[in-house]
Structure 1
Amino acid sequence: MTRRVHRVHEVMTGNPVTVEQLTTLAEAARVMRDAGIGDVLVVDRGRLRGILTDRDIVVRALAEDRDPAETTVRAICSTDPLTVKPDDRVDHAVDLMRRHALRRLPVQADDGELVGIVTLGDLEVERDPGSPLSAIAAAEAMPR
């Protein structure tokens, strides 16, 4: 039996949530809360500039006494994120995440359009649907 090669577009979460880089942390946190997610992609006129996580808000902003109503996401987000393409092999995404200790990778089409995000949870659901991490990832994806 031949093992099927899986592509990123088969496991990614489509329609990634984005915020402009001049969005305040408070607004970005509300976007995350309302979408039930822990990260947003940071863009400047539609072009990817970074990733902001809920942990970034706590560790890089609140712990340093930055005002979330005044601080922009550009000031604390991770910049120049690594990306993958929708047709890249899942093994390539796993390798990048492992080598760079990443939990998520934006997915960009050849024209630069953001089409998704692939997370550790997405990959675990694909690799081992019965694993505890897979069950947690599936539960987090359900509406609250």
Structure 2
Amino acid sequence: MTIGEICNREVIVIQQDETILEAAKLMRQYHVGAIIVVDKPNGRRVPVGMVTDRDLVVEILATELDETVITVGDIMIPDIFTVKESTPTYEAIEFMRRKTVRRLPIVDEAGELVGIFTLDDALQLLSEEILDLAKLVRYEHKKEIRHRP
């Protein structure tokens, strides 16, 4: 299974020249902890950075900066890591671990943003897999009892 098959295709994006106040409003509206910053060359959404709720708290609120004049480009995490949608899921999760990132934008072959995969997504996926394995153990036990009373 590839990461493109399971990633969230509804990604909240913003451009660098928007204010961080607008970023915070989007995070609240869509209940997300991060927004992908994109450039739009030729109409394509190309990820160039990320802003997290933690960035807003640590960089802006804690330092009492004016959220109406600071732009997303001023505080975004530049040079974000991405993986192609054709990447096997296990490799994407391993990549997140190696790079110590909680959120991973997913791009197509041309580098356009197509989705996002998060630590929460990985935990949900893995817990479902473990649950399926636990069910297998239980079913095998019941099968054994039925066939060999």
With the shorter chain as reference, the TM-score category is: 0.7 to 0.9
- Structure 1 distance, partners of 2:127, 2:24, is 31
**Is the alpha carbon distance of 1:47 and 1:37 closer, same or farther for their aligned partners in structure 2, counting shifts above 3 Å?**
same
What is aligned with 1:136? none
Task: Pick the aligned partner of 1:22 from 1, 17, 24.
Answer: 17
For residues 54-69 of structure 1, the aligned pairs below 5 Å read 54-69=53-68
Kindly indicate whether the alpha-carbon contact (under 8 Å) linking 1:51 and 1:77 is maintained by their aligned counterparts in 2: yes
What secondary structure is seen at the aligned counterpart in 2 of 1:64? coil
State the identity as a percent.
Answer: 37
Q: Are residue 47 (structure 1) and residue 46 (structure 2) matched?
A: yes
Deviation at 1:130?
Answer: 8.1
Aligned counterpart, 1:13: 8
* Structure whose CA Rg is larger: 2
In 2: Cα distance, 1:130 partner to 1:95 partner: 16
User: For residues 53 and 27 of structure 2, what CA distance do their matches in structure 1 show?
Assistant: 8
Whether the 8 Å CA contact 1:107–1:118 is kept in 2: the answer is: yes
- Tell me the TM-score normalised to structure 1 length: 0.82
CA contact (8 A) 1:11 1:123 kept: no
Partners of 1:100 and 1:48 in 2: how far apart? 17
CA contact (8 A) 1:19 1:41 kept: yes
2:134 paired with 1:102: no
User: In the alignment, which of 29, 37, 45 is matched to residue 34 of structure 1?
Assistant: 29
**What is the Cα deviation at residue 67 of structure 1?**
0.9
The number of residues matched between the two structures is 126
- Decide which moves more: 66-75 or 120-129: 120-129
Structure 1 gaps, min length 5: 1-5, 132-144
Residue identity in the other structure for 2:77: S
Identify the residue that residue 85 of structure 1 maps to in structure 2: 84
CA deviations 1:6-65 (Å, max 9, x no partner) are: 210222111211000011010110011111111110012232110111111111222222
